[in-house]
Structure 1
Amino acid sequence: MAVRPLVSLVTGAGSGFGALTARALARSGHTVYAGFLQSNKDKTPDYKDAADFARENNCQLRGIQLNVVKDDSIKRAVDEIMAEEGRIDVVVHNAGHMNFGPAEAFTPEQFMELYEVNCLSCHRINRVVLPHMRRAKSGLLVWVSSSSAHGPSSPFLTPYFAAKAAQDSLAQTYAVELTQFGIETSIVVPGVFTKGTSHFATAMKAGDTAIEQEYMEGALKGWDHIAAEGHNRIVSPDADPGAVAEAVRRVVDAEYGKRPFRVHVEYDGGGAAIVNGVRDLVRETFLNRLGLADLLKVKKFK
């Protein structure tokens, strides 16, 4: 396990990967702040569920209000954690939102909303958290990416896929800029999970219904159902979203300086690990050619 219990902030922890990850880290002995969109701690089930879990498992899991697209909300949450703990060791960038429908039918505003949640929110949080990590000369950013970012992709999910690809690229470039401050980066890449998360159930619908009908009642009629059925068919019955949480936990618990840059959790045979293996090798080779090899290794101050 990591040298000491780490103070960790998990975004989008109200359901799915985020809720599972927050609990896995807390069970492992870390102090975990689970970011919830809601603010009323007395009347929303997320806070009660977290408190009940902490009590039943004798661990440190605390709900905290966090709207990842609002700078003031992020600052309040980080200030609260710093006041209570004096440090933030780990941020798990998990918050995300999906869509389903033909790309053209989503308005530019909807594309931007999905980009805000899935990508830009990570940058917003980094700008508030990283000054504390840089002063501490240590820290860990865990980015929950998607196999669709640079691996298999399918129709009707375009805005989400584009945003997750941007997030993955953001993680890669942040990584080499942070190593000399003692800050590590790990990217966890889930494949397709059709059960155990709320991604598909809460997916954004296309805003331009007229355009949507031209597709879904015209040339692409029925293909959305084929795509949905296909996702269900290719995923192994053993697929467990808890495996994503366990992957994050193993990263956090790993020895400082030896954490993996990328971890894949695939049950769909999509092959993202193959694609990313090549991409990451090309990235490392190019940085070596530029004389930037040292930026690939975290600088240890402790």
Structure 2
Amino acid sequence: MKPDTVLITGCSSGIGRATARAFLDEDWIVYATARNPADIETLGEAGCELATLDVTDQGDVERVVDRIVDEEGKLDCLVNNAGYAQFGPTEDVPTEVLDRQFEVNVNGPHRLTRAVLPHMREQESGTIVNVSSVAGRIAFPGSGAYCGSKFALEAMTDALRNEVSEYGIDAVLVEPGPVETQFTDRADDQLDELERSGAYESLYSLFEDSEALGGGGPGAISPARVAEDILDAASSTKPPARYPSGTVAQIAVLGRFLPDVVQDSIWRFLKRLV
């Protein structure tokens, strides 16, 4: 039988790169994509098929999906991994910046999902894995834009899961906690671009600690650990709806069940510590 085929977005580093290698190790045909093909040359040398893909470009999306179907005759799994974090207090985040956050983190996966579903329905099988975050289950101050985009991705995936189940297609969420990646580098850059109102300096002080942005510190897991969950979701005949990746994620998602007054008290306590 022909090996299974996977399309992965955002493979230039971190989780995307580790996921491409994990699928390769299991003998999948891997189409690794990134906005800049130079960033994924080593994955090509390792055996991946490479493609330039900007998830905000509908032409790119259609071209890459059509290429895979033409070359392989099928597409067994889509991993929507590309994304970034826009942090900052709600008042300080301009609407156009919020639009950009949703364009990548929500509209991007939506474009890819719409492009692959006709092919998966025709073959009556397939898995769509959306890489979310613990921030898709519980919001924290100074993260309204990012958490909002992940909350939206979670809702879209929950709806999708029941829409496509009758066609033999699975829709799964992978929800990492802090991960040892360069995730914080871009988050820091996005934060620095904001024009501060001056009203939320305690929050900015918190974000100046890179560990607060989830790029390291106690409980951070490797990108390879997240890739294990993504591969498991793609390989399982009946994957669970959600994979909280890592101990921090497994504990943190329970926070959504706390009463709002308790959650608010926790944030006030943390603010006093800054």
AA partner of residue 177 (structure 1): E
Give distance in 1, aligned partners of 2:61 and 2:204. 42
Give distance in 1, aligned partners of 2:234 and 2:248. 25
Classify the secondary structure of the residue corresponding to 1:92: strand
Classify the secondary structure of the residue corresponding to 1:8: strand
AA partner of residue 21 (structure 1): T
Q: Is the 8 A contact 1:154 1:227 kept in 2?
A: no
User: Quick one: which of 77, 81, 88 aligns to 1:101?
Assistant: 88
Query: 2:246 aligned with 1:250, yes or no?
Result: no
- Deviation by residue 1:59-118 (Cα, 9 ceiling, x = unmatched): xx1111111111111001011111111111100111111123222111101101111111
Deviation at 1:155, TM superposition (A): 2.6
TM-score, scaled relative to structure 2: 0.84
User: Quick one: which of 205, 208, 211 aligns to 1:225?
Assistant: 208
- Deviation by residue 1:215-248 (Cα, 9 ceiling, x = unmatched): 35x56563433684585786326x2221000111
CA gap 1:128/1:215 in 2 versus in 1, 3 angstroms: same
AA partner of residue 71 (structure 1): Q
Deviation at 1:213, TM superposition (A): 4.9
CA gap 1:155/1:226 in 2 versus in 1, 3 angstroms: farther
Partner of 1:51: 44
Q: Is the 8 A contact 1:93 1:143 kept in 2?
A: yes
Q: Is the 8 A contact 2:178 2:219 kept in 1?
A: no
- Deviation by residue 1:117-168 (Cα, 9 ceiling, x = unmatched): 11111111111111111111111111111111113x4332221111011001
AA partner of residue 274 (structure 1): L
Give distance in 1, aligned partners of 2:21 and 2:212. 31
- When the two structures are aligned, how many residues end up with a matched partner? 256
Classify the secondary structure of the residue corresponding to 1:96: coil
Q: Where does 1:57-72 land on structure 2 (aligned, <5 Å)?
A: 61-72=48-59
Partner of 1:169: 155
Q: Is the 8 A contact 1:107 1:206 kept in 2?
A: no
Give distance in 1, aligned partners of 2:19 and 2:212. 28
AA partner of residue 13 (structure 1): C
Q: Is the 8 A contact 1:68 1:95 kept in 2?
A: yes
Give distance in 2, aligned partners of 1:118 and 1:173. 17
Give distance in 2, aligned partners of 1:220 and 1:274. 24
Structure 2 unmatched runs, 5+: 259-274
TM-score, scaled relative to structure 1: 0.77
Partner of 2:271: none
Q: Where does 1:1-302 land on structure 2 (aligned, <5 Å)?
A: 5-38=3-36, 44-46=38-40, 48-54=41-47, 61-151=48-138, 153-193=139-179, 195=180, 197-203=181-187, 204-205=190-191, 207-209=193-195, 212-215=196-199, 218=201, 220=203, 222-225=205-208, 228=211, 235-236=218-219, 239-254=221-236, 256=237, 258-268=238-248, 271-274=251-254
Q: Is the 8 A contact 1:18 1:95 kept in 2?
A: yes
- Deviation by residue 1:244-283 (Cα, 9 ceiling, x = unmatched): 00111122222x2x222211112436624536899xxxxx
Give distance in 1, aligned partners of 2:158 and 2:193. 32
Structure 1 unmatched runs, 5+: 55-60, 279-302
AA partner of residue 186 (structure 1): V
Between stretches 63-72 and 4-13, larger displacement belongs to 4-13
Higher normalized contact order (CA 8 Å, seq sep 6+, divided by chain length): 1
Q: Is the 8 A contact 1:13 1:35 kept in 2?
A: yes
Q: Is the 8 A contact 2:184 2:214 kept in 1?
A: no
AA partner of residue 224 (structure 1): F
Q: Is the 8 A contact 1:188 1:264 kept in 2?
A: yes
